[in-house]
Structure 1
Amino acid sequence: MDFDITLILMGLPVAFVLGWLASRMDMRQLRMENRQAPKAYFKGLNFLLNEQQDQAIDAFIEAVQNDPDTSELHFALGNLFRRRGEYERAVRVHEHLLSRGDLSLDDRHRAQHALALDYLKAGLLDRAEDALLKLEGTRFEAQARLALLANYERSRDWEQAALVAQKLESSDQGSFKGRLAHYLCEQAATLRAAGETAQAQFLLHQAIATAPDVPRPRMDLADLQAHNGHAAQAYATLTEAMQAAPGAVALIAPLLAQQAVAAGQGVAALALLKDCYAQVASLDVLDAIVALEAASSETTPTARDWYARHLEKEPSLVAAAKWIAGEKLEREAFHPQVQRALDHAVKPLTRYRCAACGFEAKVHFWQCPGCQAWDSYPARRVEEL
């Protein structure tokens, strides 16, 4: 059969056109695929900025499906899941990242840190501890140690917390001496409850040496000494506490008054407390003065006189309630009702308030039950703040 060159020549333009059209279609599809993921990503970002987290999650999931190799999308999606409280989904995202062989070392550390945060938020403290320990020597080391410290505090593992705090102290991450003193006091309280008072006393002395300006170790030591029947030692320890931590005088004063009476040091304690009250007019110090004078055999001003003097210095509903408690009203039958109303009104004013989160409590806490911050409660009542 004869081969017709004309047909070949006529087919070349057709083949060229078909090839050109095919390439254009491939390029268009490629551009559409490349644009689809960023579009979904920016769509999710827009939802996130508008605090529409449900829509943002859907958009990020779409972006991840279109481009599963993009690690940044996985990080964004995992963080969103954690913020939403969907910790299991957040864990799956970050575990998937860690399973990828093409992930860079820095992104691997980042995913490990995110996974640790997922476990912490979910309350899986054991898994969180394992994940955080793997971040030693990485750029997330300081953050991991702080999270690990909070983890040990939540589980009340004071020995491990102390080891982490010492590492943070040595790496210039701030001063942790106050926390170290509290950890020793917590361990001493456990030993005391178990009857090991000698070891508890040793730890309290160690806490005093660690943070001399923290009042708690000396207050706990004085309480232990008083429990062992050594009132004179307890009184001496509390006077040292007042000198070392003048900001905590209001907390120390009631204990000092009790031990002063037991040790026969009422006169010296009264003079000390009056000096303190002259510097800072604290109601707790005033109550301690009133208690000491009531225990004294000498003729002294009555409690009502002291509260009247306090009212001359500054207005105080608490002092007014205590003053009127000893006052005889013209209509005596209404006195109990008036006193009961005043006592009810002053209750909120006698609480302590956390300076970090505002949590209020009837008693003073060294660690806030609300936000877990240490030494966040001022030594003064709400009315005096």
Structure 2
Amino acid sequence: MEFDISWILLGLPLAFVLGWAASRFDLRQLRAENRRAPKAYFKGLNFLLNEQQDQAIDAFIEAVQNDPDTSELHFALGNLFRRRGEYDRAVRVHEHLLSRGDLGRSDRERAQYALALDFLKAGLLDRAEDALTRLEATPFEAQARLALLAIYERSRDWPHAAAIARKMHDARQGDFSTRQAHYLCEQAQACIANDDRPAALALLNQALAAAPDAARARIDLARLQQRMGDSDAALDTLKALSRQAPAALPLAAPLLVETALATNRKSEVQALLHAHYAEAASLDVLEGIVALEATDAAGPAVARQRYVQHLDQEQSLVAAAKWLAAEKLEHEEFHPQVQRALDHAAKPLTRYRCAACGFEARQHFWQCPGCQSWDSYPARRVEEL
């Protein structure tokens, strides 16, 4: 059978026509997809601006399906999932980004940070810690360290918290010396609970060296010294507190009274308390003065007159209630009821209040139980603020 070249001549135009038609079809499809992708993106943006997050998520999912290689859409979708509390979906989006081999370094680091935030918001602290440690030597290093610090504080992992604070301090990301002192004091308290007083003493001295002006280290050190029977050393530590951090002296007033009664330096402590009270009238310092003067020859009755003198300076319901407690009234049979009413009214005024969140507590905290802020409790009662 002879080959007929005419078939080739007829087939070439046909192949050209079919190729042209196929290219036109692909081009139309590509244009349609490109039109759909921006349309879905802008639709999602419009929903987001109108705070319609459900519709925005649906629109962004459609945009991602039309263009799965667009990393920005993935980031937007992941952030939306996180804001809505759908942390498992946010994790899947960011893990998908990290699994892509074509992702640039900056986008990879950004995805790693977003994944760490997903774990953190979900309360998966161990996975968040692992994700955050991978961000060392990246542009997200500072934010990652702050997040790690929050994790270690939340889990009360004070050694790791101290290490991170030291890194941030050395990197000039802020002054973390006082924070480091707090971590060392927390470790010292754990040692005291385990009856390891030498280790606690060493940690408190480290805290004092890290932050000489921090009040907590001196108060905790004085309390430990008093417990170990070295009242003179405890008193010297508290005198240094009055020089380095005088605003915190009201917190140490009961301990000052205890050390004064355990040593022969009562007049020295009285002079210290009187000098501080003259500069800043404080209920706790007043209590210390009354406690010491009540042991003098003049007796408790004269000491209680300090409450009346305080009322000349401050309108204090707490001081009035304390003075009235030991006084004889004309109708003495009604004294218990009146005293209970006064004590009940004065009780909220003796609390401490966090300056950051307003959380009130009967005792003073170095770290607020409400907002977790450090040193946010003034050393003064609510009535004195």
Structure 1 unaligned segments of length 5 or more: list them: 1-7
CA distance in structure 1 between the aligned counterparts of 2:172 and 2:312, rounded to whole angstroms:
48
CA distance in structure 2 between the aligned counterparts of 1:341 and 1:60, rounded to whole angstroms:
63
State the 1:62 CA deviation. 2.6
**Partner AA of 1:119 in structure 2:** F
Instruction: Select between 50-59 and 226-235 the one with higher mean Cα deviation.
Output: 50-59
Q: Look up the match of 1:94.
A: 94
Percent identical across equivalent pairs? 68
State the 1:182 CA deviation. 0.9
Summarize the Cα distance change of 1:233–1:45 in structure 2 as closer, same or farther, 3 Å threshold: same
Instruction: Select between 58-67 and 305-314 the one with higher mean Cα deviation.
Output: 58-67
**Partner AA of 1:315 in structure 2:** Q
Is 2:75 the counterpart of 1:56?
Answer: no
Is 2:196 the counterpart of 1:191?
Answer: no
**Partner AA of 2:121 in structure 1:** K
On the 8 A contact 2:290/2:304 being kept in 1, the answer is: no
Q: Look up the match of 2:5.
A: none
**Partner AA of 1:232 in structure 2:** D
Structure 2 unaligned segments of length 5 or more: list them: 1-9
On the 8 A contact 1:261/1:295 being kept in 2, the answer is: no
Instruction: Select between 350-359 and 328-337 the one with higher mean Cα deviation.
Output: 328-337
Give SS of 2:180's match: helix
User: Could you state the TM-score of these two structures normalised by the residue count of structure 1?
Assistant: 0.89
Summarize the Cα distance change of 1:328–1:35 in structure 2 as closer, same or farther, 3 Å threshold: farther
State the 1:81 CA deviation. 1.7
Summarize the Cα distance change of 1:22–1:194 in structure 2 as closer, same or farther, 3 Å threshold: closer
RMSD, aligned α-carbons = 2.5
Q: Look up the match of 1:251.
A: 251
Summarize the Cα distance change of 1:203–1:27 in structure 2 as closer, same or farther, 3 Å threshold: same
CA distance in structure 2 between the aligned counterparts of 1:333 and 1:55, rounded to whole angstroms:
72
State the 1:20 CA deviation. 8.9
Q: Look up the match of 2:232.
A: 232
Is 2:370 the counterpart of 1:373?
Answer: no
State the 1:31 CA deviation. 4.0
User: Could you state the TM-score of these two structures normalised by the residue count of structure 2?
Assistant: 0.89
Q: Within 5 Å, give how 1:102-251 maps onto structure 2.
A: 102-251=102-251
On the 8 A contact 2:251/2:379 being kept in 1, the answer is: yes
Summarize the Cα distance change of 1:181–1:67 in structure 2 as closer, same or farther, 3 Å threshold: same
Q: Look up the match of 2:85.
A: 85
On the 8 A contact 1:215/1:248 being kept in 2, the answer is: yes
State the 1:78 CA deviation. 1.3
On the 8 A contact 2:352/2:362 being kept in 1, the answer is: yes
Summarize the Cα distance change of 1:302–1:32 in structure 2 as closer, same or farther, 3 Å threshold: farther
CA distance in structure 2 between the aligned counterparts of 1:59 and 1:348, rounded to whole angstroms:
53
Offset from partner CA, 1:115-156 (integer Å, 9 cap, x none): 111111222222111111111111001111111111122222
State the 1:183 CA deviation. 1.1
CA distance in structure 1 between the aligned counterparts of 2:302 and 2:41, rounded to whole angstroms:
75
Summarize the Cα distance change of 1:272–1:57 in structure 2 as closer, same or farther, 3 Å threshold: same
Summarize the Cα distance change of 1:20–1:257 in structure 2 as closer, same or farther, 3 Å threshold: same
Q: Look up the match of 1:355.
A: 355
State the 1:300 CA deviation. 7.2
CA distance in structure 2 between the aligned counterparts of 1:320 and 1:139, rounded to whole angstroms:
59
Q: Within 5 Å, give how 1:227-306 maps onto structure 2.
A: 227-298=227-298, 302-306=302-306
Q: Look up the match of 1:315.
A: 315
Summarize the Cα distance change of 1:326–1:119 in structure 2 as closer, same or farther, 3 Å threshold: same
State the 1:336 CA deviation. 2.0
**Partner AA of 1:280 in structure 2:** A
CA distance in structure 2 between the aligned counterparts of 1:330 and 1:241, rounded to whole angstroms:
45
The number of residues matched between the two structures is 372
Summarize the Cα distance change of 1:317–1:135 in structure 2 as closer, same or farther, 3 Å threshold: same
Summarize the Cα distance change of 1:50–1:310 in structure 2 as closer, same or farther, 3 Å threshold: farther
CA distance in structure 1 between the aligned counterparts of 2:110 and 2:236, rounded to whole angstroms:
53
Summarize the Cα distance change of 1:46–1:293 in structure 2 as closer, same or farther, 3 Å threshold: farther
Summarize the Cα distance change of 1:107–1:321 in structure 2 as closer, same or farther, 3 Å threshold: same
State the 1:28 CA deviation. 5.7
CA distance in structure 2 between the aligned counterparts of 1:155 and 1:344, rounded to whole angstroms:
37
CA distance in structure 2 between the aligned counterparts of 1:321 and 1:51, rounded to whole angstroms:
55
**Partner AA of 1:144 in structure 2:** A
State the 1:299 CA deviation. 5.1
Summarize the Cα distance change of 1:96–1:278 in structure 2 as closer, same or farther, 3 Å threshold: same
CA distance in structure 2 between the aligned counterparts of 1:44 and 1:324, rounded to whole angstroms:
69
State the 1:35 CA deviation. 3.3
Offset from partner CA, 1:55-114 (integer Å, 9 cap, x none): 332332232223222111111221222222222111111111101112111010001011
